[in-house]
């Protein structure tokens, strides 16, 4: 299993409940949820990848299970990883999903090749 299918189902439910349109793409060995053609939320193994506002980045790192995203060997600004213990409860997962949705309009799109 490349990524946690149960977590994927929980994210889908959260996005649908919020009325958010999204697309799914398999990438980085996991699953990414795209909103407005921008990477918004993802799953790598059992961890949630969250694209959040830089203004809440430092404070978010103090929350349970949250850590710097160091996927490429150096920290990726604006992205954090949340371990399962930080998203066990649906309310906690919903909080992270909402943070990602809130930042999405301000996030830059990747350049298409």
Structure pTM?
Answer: 0.92
Is 75 inside any structural domain?
A: yes
The pLDDT of residue 36 is 96
How many domains does the structure of the chain reveal? 1
Position 2 scores a pLDDT of 83
Residue 44 lies in a domain: yes
Q: Which domain holds residue 50?
A: 5-106
Quick one: which H or E segment has residue 79? strand 79-82
For Cα atoms 35, 66, 60, give the angle at the middle one, nearest 5 degrees. 75
Residue 89 neighbours by CB under 8 Å, 6+ apart: none
Tell me if 34 sits within 8 A of 45, measured CB to CB: no
Specify the pLDDT at position 111.
64
Specify if 111 maps to a domain. no
Instruction: Classify each residue of 68-90 as buried b or exposed e, where b means 16 or more C-beta atoms within 10 Å of its C-beta.
Output: ebebeeeeeebbbbbeeebbeee
Asked if residue 74 belongs to a domain, the reply is yes
pLDDT at 4: 95
**72 in a domain, yes or no?**
yes
CATH number assigned to the domain comprising residue 70? 3.90.1150.30
In a domain, 112, yes or no: no
- Report the run of H or E that residue 103 belongs to, with start and end: helix 90-103
Please identify every stretch of the chain with a pLDDT value under 70, giving residue numbers as ranges. Answer: 1, 111-113
Name the pairing type of β-strands 47-51 and 38-44.
Answer: antiparallel
In the chain, what percentage of residues exceed pLDDT 70? 96
The answer to whether residue 88 sits within a structural domain is yes
3-state SS string for 10-68:
HHHHHHHHCCCCCEEEEECCEEEEEECCEEEEEEEECEEEEECCHHHHHHHCCCCCEEE
């Amino acid at each position: 299993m490349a990524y946690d299918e149960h977590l994927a189902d929980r994210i889908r439910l959260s996005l649908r409940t919020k009325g958010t349109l999204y697309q799914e793409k398999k990438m980085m060995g996991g699953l990414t949820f795209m909103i407005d053609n921008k990477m918004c939320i993802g799953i790598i193994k059992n961890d949630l990848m969250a694209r959040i506002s830089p203004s809440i980045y430092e404070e978010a790192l103090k929350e349970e299970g949250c850590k710097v995203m160091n996927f490429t060997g150096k920290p990726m600004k604006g992205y954090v990883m949340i371990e399962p213990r930080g998203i066990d409860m649906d309310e906690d997962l919903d909080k992270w999903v909402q943070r990602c949705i809130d930042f999405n309009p301000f996030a830059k799109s990747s350049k298409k090749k």
